[in-house]
Amino acid sequence: MFLRRLLVPLVIILLSFSTCNGLRNPSRPCRQRASHTPSSLKMVDVEAFKGKGESDDTEAFERAWNKACSSGADVLVVPNKRVYHLKPIVFSGPCKSDLTMKIDGTIEASTDPSDYKEDERHWIRFENLQNFKVEGRGTINGNGQIWWAKSCKVNKNLPCREAPTALTFLECNNLMVSGITSKDAQQMHIIFQKCVNVRAFNLKVTAPERSPNTDGIHVTATQNIQISNSVVGTGDDCVSIVSGSKNVQVLDLTCGPGHGISIGSLGKGQSGAFVSDVLVNRAKLSGTTNGVRIKTWQGGSGYAKNIRFENIAMHNVENPLIIDQHYCDQEKPCRDQASAVQVENVVYQNITGTSASETAIRLDCSRGHPCQGILLQDIDLVGTSHGHAQASCVSASLSRRGRVSPSCP
């Protein structure tokens, strides 16, 4: 009896392995699932294109990309334990087949400003790609220190000028970016611009707290994007979402230092701006100048609507909840204007923690276009110094559910 009990399961296991991938369905024939083993993948290694003694790897990357993109390769490899030095470069499509760039090594930016004469706003660009992936455990190092020192936000005697974004994805559809570290960008770290269907996860973005304009992840004119399980600490917004963006999810983000999670700025220069259907869920913010923020310039038009901030923990955050429809990031005071980007249908739910300032909730809305449909639900924010905090709400049509502390008069 003991042997029978032992042999029957063993026979079942052996039969299962004789069928498709261990699955057996007697009612119909099974299909063998297509799979790629490492030996069957068609790989291009950037190391194979390097010349001996070369300190600039830009041409090697261009040749490797052209080979991978045009030949139907599966993976372009940037090997581990290697450091590559790049001038501004564009990886453009469309490619012959779906392609993955696997970055396990370190890519460092040129520190010579003359290398950026043709385009001062970009370092590495991926554009016009379909079903494209960037993954790996490597580091993208922008060597931003030389640019920060020349910023008008650091030295007010200098004229304000653009600096390169480290990593730009332009007009890419069905895009996945995962695992990599972006460090010390010249200005913004990662931009998703005019993209559709994006998943970005397990990213690490880091720059010193005083580095100017070093937004971590910037979303512009992009639809259907999910950013998740990432850690961002920079000198500007951890995540910024601007005009043309729709169906944006930010999940399980750890943010700090930096300026928090921002929608905007919107409407600068009397422009139209449109952002909708944004969800920020399960975020942790520590030591940031703002928590979750919507910021618009006076004189703009359009809307920021259908926005949810929920399940967020704040620690020593200066402005935990803020809508600022009088945003003015310029030396001269901004004049009062009647028109504004309409802010409506915004939910703040289950937000707890500590405020570094006395005003934990500040809703500074336009008198001409008041904020509409603002819901505060289950809010518990206290001050770090005196244990209490206050709220200020101007021109905001709001409702409350559950415990809301502090609460507007």
Cα separation of 90 and 171, whole Å?
13
Cα separation of 177 and 185, whole Å?
17
Cα separation of 317 and 321, whole Å?
9
What is the mean predicted confidence (pLDDT) over 308-326? 98
Is the Cβ–Cβ distance between 57 and 32 less than 8 Å?
A: no
Please confirm, yes or no, whether 329 is among the known catalytic residues. no
Cα separation of 90 and 125, whole Å?
5
What is the mean predicted confidence (pLDDT) over 276-288? 98
What confidence tier does 330 reach under pLDDT thresholds 50, 70, 90? confident
Cα separation of 407 and 381, whole Å?
10
Question: Which of 13-22, 135-144, 247-256, 299-308 is least confident?
Answer: 13-22
* From 122, 189, 218, 259, active-site residue: 259
Cα separation of 203 and 218, whole Å?
13
What confidence tier does 38 reach under pLDDT thresholds 50, 70, 90? low
- 3-class DSSP state of 366: coil
Please confirm, yes or no, whether 236 is among the known catalytic residues. yes
Place of tokens 């905001």: 396
Place of tokens 């790049």: 86
For 125-174, how does the pLDDT look when each residue is reduced to its tens digit (9 = 90+)?
999 999 999 999 999 999 999 999 999 989 888 888 889 999 999 999 99
Whole-structure pTM value: 0.89
Mean pLDDT of the chain: 91
* From 57, 236, 237, 324, active-site residue: 236
What is the model's pLDDT at position 220?
A: 98
Q: Is 27's pLDDT higher than 80?
A: no
Q: Is 403's pLDDT higher than 50?
A: yes
Amino acid at 322: I
Which two three-digit tokens encode residue 356?
A: 């570094």
For 286-305, how does the pLDDT look when each residue is reduced to its tens digit (9 = 90+)?
999 999 999 999 999 999 99
Name the pairing type of β-strands 83-86 and 396-405.
unpaired
List Cβ neighbours of 331 (8 Å cut-off, separation of 6 or more).
none
Q: Count CB neighbours of 345 within 10 A.
A: 17
For 44-102, how does the pLDDT look when each residue is reduced to its tens digit (9 = 90+)?
999 999 987 778 999 999 999 999 999 999 999 999 999 999 999 999 999 999 999 99
What is the mean predicted confidence (pLDDT) over 211-230? 98
Q: Is 29's pLDDT higher than 70?
A: no
